[in-house]
């Protein structure tokens, strides 16, 4: 990030301008030029006459970026001239703040209040707080509630006592309207494309959205808001959906239901689109759905993403680039650490240096990940060929958990080298009086427990591979049995390394119950790991 900070807030301001390139670019520049902010995505839509911007930054920078963008919009957008098919009430219609990493919802509430306070003072415009920032009562908690009546109805609405703005003047500002800001969880803005009319799209929207057609006739899905509109420049209509909790209603659930209803209406759905960014987890939920539904064998992340793009038709209007649309890829949170990214030579030579890290923990994680990788290779070498058709089903069930174990063990190579940092930070805390000494001691104990969690996680994950190695030893390609033997020895070596690291940190923990429970667990894992390694070797030898 531009600021180098790991504390990240996402801001997704929606401006009421989607046609004039010079205005869209000017707002982009204001965000991009704000120190500490990184502009990730700009998505103008001419029919809606609206542009959605997505940028991230630390809690201080993100507010500055939003204020800078709003100032530009204030000078260039006049709501008296605005027309578009998306509901709106202001030049900067809505400006949510969303926690991404190492920040809380409370941090984002503070961001929204700081933004509201500054904008009202600097531009003299009204602002409303919504979602988690709302303080005005349940009748004005959600965006649709506040935006009801839109810009055209704001003049009469804003003077009512129950609609007094949270910030700024309680009067209509014709050129601006009003802005809604607040803190909310990650929301997915999702549109399903329909070869039909606006009215038909809205009919489907009413069927799927939580509100439905009213209190007595709710829609099918929880945490879904939806309306129908035309995309005149594209020659189709859209069911415009906000998924406010993608775990409650995943993307694929909304899409499949739209397809089903459209089919009953003799209408065609022609793909869909995601506006803004989408969490990787949401894409993986849809991938798992289609993999299970169609009995597919797909285990690599990039292949799962491609499956979702194809099944949902996410590139039907414009190319869906995962690197630009999936938030973890945009902010680099899926990037490998420095050790994993280094060459084999550099990694080994760094272990062989005078530095204390990387050490035995990182080496153990590397060896264990190699063990699971070798087992994965044996599974793949025993799958997909005519001679192995009889065991295809067995291999499918075996390869996936081994591949997942490999993917989860690799990051531990880096995380082990930093696992002790919390304890070292605690050592530096002041301890000149009893209160400071108590805080320092508690922090040291928490630091030690965190340092234990990493090698303990290594042991648990490596240990989970054994049942699958047994299957490979009995059914796998005979030509790969030597690789399986190395795999078994590597996994056990990784377990032993994790065991040693747990014990050395456990010595400093004063919580006797915790010490007893952890010691019992790791000793059991180590003993079983040795037995399992021996068992694999014996099974292999019987087949050779």
Catalytic residues: 86, 416
| Sheet strands (E) in 414-485 | none
Structure tokens at 498: 């994790």
SS3 52: strand
Structure tokens at 134: 């709302």
In whole angstroms, how far apart are CA 208 and each of 146, 218, 220, 222, 236?
22, 9, 5, 9, 19
Strand 188-195 relative to strand 236-243: parallel, antiparallel, unpaired? antiparallel
Q: How many Å apart are CA 75 and CA 125, to the nearest integer?
A: 13
- Residue by residue, DSSP assigns 272-315 as EEEES-B-HHHHHHHHHHHHHHTT----SHHHHHHHHHHHHTTT
SS3 105: helix
Contact 496, 463 (CB under 8 A): no
Residue 199 buriedness (CB in 10 A; 0-12 / 13-18 / 19+): exposed
Q: What is the 3-state secondary structure of 184-237?
A: CCCCEEEEEEEECCHHHHHHHHHHHCCCCCCCCCCCCCCCEEEEEEEECCCCEE
Q: How many Å apart are CA 95 and CA 182, to the nearest integer?
A: 7
SS3 391: helix
Burial 164-194 (b: 16+ CB within 10 A, else e): ebbbbeeebbeebbbbbbbbbebbbbbbbbb
Contact 412, 454 (CB under 8 A): yes
Q: How many Å apart are CA 242 and CA 253, to the nearest integer?
A: 13
Strand 92-101 relative to strand 179-183: parallel, antiparallel, unpaired? parallel
Q: What are phi and psi of 456, to 5 degrees?
A: -65, -40
Structure tokens at 333: 């949170």
Q: How many CB atoms lie within 10 A of CB 106?
A: 11
Residue 337 buriedness (CB in 10 A; 0-12 / 13-18 / 19+): middle
Helix or strand run (H / E) with residue 268:
strand 268-275
Total residues belonging to the chain? 544
CA atoms in the 13 A half-sphere facing the CB of 58: 11
């Amino acid at each position: 990030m531009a600021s180098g900070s790991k504390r990240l807030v996402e801001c997704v301001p929606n401006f009421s301008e989607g046609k004039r390139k010079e205005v869209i670019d000017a707002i982009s520049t204001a965000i991009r030029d704000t120190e500490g902010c990184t502009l990730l995505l700009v998505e103008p839509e001419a029919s809606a006459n609206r542009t959605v911007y997505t940028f991230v930054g630390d809690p201080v920078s993100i507010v500055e970026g939003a204020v800078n963008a709003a100032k530009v919009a204030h000078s260039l957008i006049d709501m008296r001239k605005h027309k578009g098919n998306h509901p709106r009430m202001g030049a900067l219609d809505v400006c949510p703040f969303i926690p991404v990493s190492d920040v809380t919802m409370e941090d984002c509430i503070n961001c929204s209040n700081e933004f509201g306070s500054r904008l009202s003072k600097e531009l003299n415009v009204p602002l409303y707080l919504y979602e988690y920032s709302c303080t005005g009562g349940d009748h004005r908690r959600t965006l649709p509630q506040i935006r009801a009546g839109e810009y055209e109805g704001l003049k009469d609405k804003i003077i009512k006592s129950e609609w007094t703005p949270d910030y700024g003047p309680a009067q209509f500002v014709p050129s601006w309207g009003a802005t809604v800001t607040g803190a909310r969880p990650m929301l997915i803005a999702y549109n399903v494309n329909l070869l039909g009319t606006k009215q038909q799209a809205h009919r489907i929207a009413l069927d799927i959205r939580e509100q439905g057609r009213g209190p007595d006739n709710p829609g099918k899905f929880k945490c879904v808001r939806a309306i129908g509109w035309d995309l005149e420049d594209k020659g189709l209509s859209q069911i415009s959906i906000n998924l406010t909790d993608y775990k409650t209603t995943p993307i694929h659930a909304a899409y499949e239901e739209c397809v089903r209803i459209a089919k009953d209406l003799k209408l065609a759905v022609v793909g869909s689109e995601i506006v803004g960014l989408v969490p990787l987890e949401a894409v993986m939920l849809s991938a798992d759905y289609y993999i299970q539904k169609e009995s597919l064998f797909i285990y690599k992340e990039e292949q799962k993403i491609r499956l979702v793009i194809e099944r949902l038709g996410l590139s039907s209007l414009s190319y869906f680039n995962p690197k630009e649309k999936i938030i973890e890829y945009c902010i680099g949170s899926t990037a490998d650490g420095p050790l994993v990214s280094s060459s084999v030579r550099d990694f080994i030579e760094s272990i062989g240096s005078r530095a204390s890290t990387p050490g035995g923990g990182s080496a153990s994680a590397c060896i264990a990940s190699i063990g699971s990788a070798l087992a994965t290779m044996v599974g793949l070498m025993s799958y997909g060929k005519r001679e192995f058709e009889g065991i295809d089903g067995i291999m499918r069930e075996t390869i996936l958990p081994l591949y997942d174990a490999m993917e989860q063990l690799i990051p531990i190579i880096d995380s082990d080298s930093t696992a002790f940092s919390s304890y070292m930070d605690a050592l530096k805390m002041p301890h000149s009086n009893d209160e400071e000494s108590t805080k320092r001691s508690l922090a040291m104990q928490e630091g030690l427990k965190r340092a234990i969690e990493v090698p303990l996680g290594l042991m648990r994950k490596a240990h989970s591979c054994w049942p699958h190695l047994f299957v490979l030893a009995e059914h796998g390609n005979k030509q790969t049995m030597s690789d399986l033997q190395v795999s078994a020895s590597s996994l056990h070596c990784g377990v032993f390394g994790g065991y040693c690291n747990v014990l050395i940190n456990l010595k400093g923990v004063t919580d006797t119950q915790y010490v007893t429970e952890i010691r019992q667990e790791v000793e059991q894992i180590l003993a079983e790991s040795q037995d399992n390694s021996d068992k694999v070797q014996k099974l292999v030898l019987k087949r050779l």
